[in-house]
Amino acid sequence: MPRTPAQHGTPAQHGTPAQHGTPAQHGTPAELLRFITCGSVDDGKSTLIGRLLHDSRLLYADQLDALVADSKRVGGRGGELDYALLVDGLAAEREQGITIDVAYRFFATERRRFIVADTPGHEQYTRNMVTGASTAQAAVILVDATQGLLTQTRRHLHLVSMLGVRHVLLAVNKLDLVGYSREVFEALADEFAGLAKELTIDDVTAVPVAAVHGVNLVARSAHTPWYTGPTVLDWLGAVPVDDDAAATGPARFLVQWVNRPSAEFRGYSGRVLAGVLRTGDRVRVLPGAAEAIESTVRRIVTMDGDLAEAEVGRSVTVLLADELDVSRGDVLAAAEAPPDVADAFQARLVWLGADELLPGRRYLAKIGARTVGFTCDQPKYRVEVDSLRRAPAKVLRGNEIGVANVHLDVAVPYEPYRTSRDLGSFIVLDRLTNATVGAGMIDFALRRSANVRWQQLTVGKPARAALNGHRPCVVWFTGLSGAGKSTVADLVEKALHAAGRRTFILDGDNVRHGLNKDLGFTDADRVENIRRIAEVASLMVQAGLIVLVSFISPFRAERELARNLVEPGEFCEVFVDTPLAVAEGRDPKGLYAKARRGELANFTGIDSPYEPPEQPEIRLDTTTLSPVDAASAVVERLAEMGII
């Protein structure tokens, strides 16, 4: 999944070489392994890392001594060292007794350097585990020998597989609590290996561990004479770190900043995602235009001078031989083997939001260095992490995993996640709060992405509007059931029709007799209901009509979607503001009474929320305005907008 310092924090912010000294200063090698520790709550992740650092003295001595002293001061029990406090987070986290973020630590052996992400085990912090795994090359998954493989353990293994981590160590911890039983260890190792195989993870090693006593962390223990495999440190020192596909594949350079300090210097700053970029290379700019835009790499610039080439992972500034329109988020790719460009994909999704993923709702997706509009179809299935069974789903709830077709507003350069973590993944953001609510991994592009194109027509909206004698517009009436939306909309159309304006009403009840008769009243169905109507209304605006839409439309996000489908000045939101008590008192259809008796579920205002507009074009207080006066106010507002 994509990760940027602004979103997740960089390792340097969490305790890495920037704070502890560079490898050169301590005589350590350049080879680097990023790994994650994960598992269920209280499986002993922080204790394992703390004891590993303490027993091996791997962390630079000055910092280790300070951490040990701090651990004894804060958490020591009768002088006993609390190893978890060597790597746990802030004091507030210590007071709560849990880790609530990803704690990054840096250490080194004579062979390689390590960055370890200690992630929380609680289900509500699954997003933190995903963050840590997104950059990891290996994973250490802990299981409590007294508890066995729990749901969260299985979820973490599934996420590790989805995020492309291919090397996994199972640390069967707290083996001292079961008498260092070989049978318990082997049973858990076999069960875990079977699950990993189903998830196509082939490189799995199991180690019997008692982290609090340091058993099999740095050296083999006499407590497990029957075990002859590697220690945890042995495994960490030997696990492969190379990404041959990224290192040897075609060049990919992500533009993160257009750098132009002077008229003579136009550079594109970013990172080499794959391959090696060399001066003189022919590159293609993606997504580009209808015709391929290509140029040649003229210079590769760094603070220390120009380079002849930049390998994968290197951050540089690239100058091209030609003046081209290159923007943030574009990709410079090897011209002979560029990635594809598409706007619709099948993707695996991890939903992280407190609110469920609603098909058809508009979100944002951050892919590479670009943020674009995002929608999702109804999931094809969700994965039950205990059994790996594919279960039907209309939505995805927090911490659920599923597969769905997703759509972006614009085409982007991509590669399947199995080929490129950077170009094959994205995070999903809430449009209103900008909070991260999901993560996705691209499987493949949908055929419609390449085959469906917008057909340019001779007669367009301006010509139709000129023929009609007025500008087109969507007049969107929203409010509670019984507020008077349909009544006012009908009076507005009557007045406009009498004045010779071309109009049409889309009424909520009428549309559910045909176009939307397959939809119910769950949140997911309500979102789809409004999505369809918003698209129809947009087409009617293209026809040059004034279309009046009368729907409860309870969610701001969907009303905002409808607004964004037409041009500025072509949308008039009318809030028919009627208090719940007044609307319920009218109850022309008897729906409130049914809802109060529990006979009608998901009824807006009773057991389903209504989000009132924050800045409507016009607010109608129906406690003080008659329907005729309310309709007159809407017509006057349309005149002020220049529609009529």
pLDDT digits (tens, 9 = 90+) for 334-373: 999 999 999 999 999 999 888 999 998 999 999 989 999 9
The pLDDT mean for the chain works out to: 84
d(CA 172, CA 17): 30
* Residue 401 DSSP label: E
Residue 320 has pLDDT above 60, yes or no: yes
List of residues 6+ apart from 238 with CB closer than 8 A: 230
Q: What local confidence, expressed as pLDDT, does residue 514 receive?
A: 87
> Do the domains 461-640 and 340-451 match in fold?
no
* CATH classification code of 5-238: 3.40.50.300
Around Cβ 328, how many Cβ atoms within 10 Å?
Answer: 16
**553 among known catalytic residues:** yes
Q: How confident is the model at residue 102 (pLDDT cuts 50, 70, 90)?
A: low
* Percentage, residues of the chain above pLDDT 90: 50
User: Could you state, in order of their start, the residue ranges of all structural domains in the chain?
Assistant: 5-238, 245-334, 340-451, 461-640
pLDDT for residue 159? 87
Per annotation, catalytic residue among 40, 161, 449, 553: 553
Q: Which among 101, 88, 237 has a CA at the least distance from the CA of 169?
A: 237
What pLDDT is attached to residue 191?
Answer: 95
**């960055």: which residue's tokens?**
115
563 or 107, higher pLDDT? 563
| Per-residue pLDDT tens over the stretch 423-440 | 999 999 998 888 889 999
Does the structural domain 340-451 have CATH classification 2.40.30.10?
A: yes
* 492 CB-contact burial (10 Å; exposed 0-12 / middle 13-18 / buried 19+): buried
245-334 folds as: Elongation Factor Tu (Ef-tu); domain 3 (2.40.30)
- Asked if residue 460 lies in contact with residue 453, where contact means CB atoms within 8 angstroms, the answer is no
Q: pLDDT by residue (tens digit) across 395-410?
A: 999 888 899 999 999 9
Class of domain 461-640: alpha beta
Residue 499's pLDDT band, with cuts at 50, 70 and 90, is: very high
Edge-to-edge strands of the sheet including 571-577? Answer: 503-507, 546-550, 473-478, 571-577, 618-621
Residue 97: its pLDDT value, please? 46
- Please give the structure tokens belonging to residue 91: 């004091």
Look at residue 294 and tell me whether its pLDDT is greater than 70: yes
Query: In angstroms, what CA-CA distances link 411 with 189, 286, 287, 343, 450?
Result: 44, 10, 7, 4, 10
pLDDT value at position 480?
Answer: 93
Task: State residue 81's pLDDT score.
Answer: 55
Give mean pLDDT, residues 472-497.
95
- 73 pLDDT more than 60: no
- pLDDT tens, position by position, 620-634: 999 899 999 999 999
At 516 the pLDDT is: 87
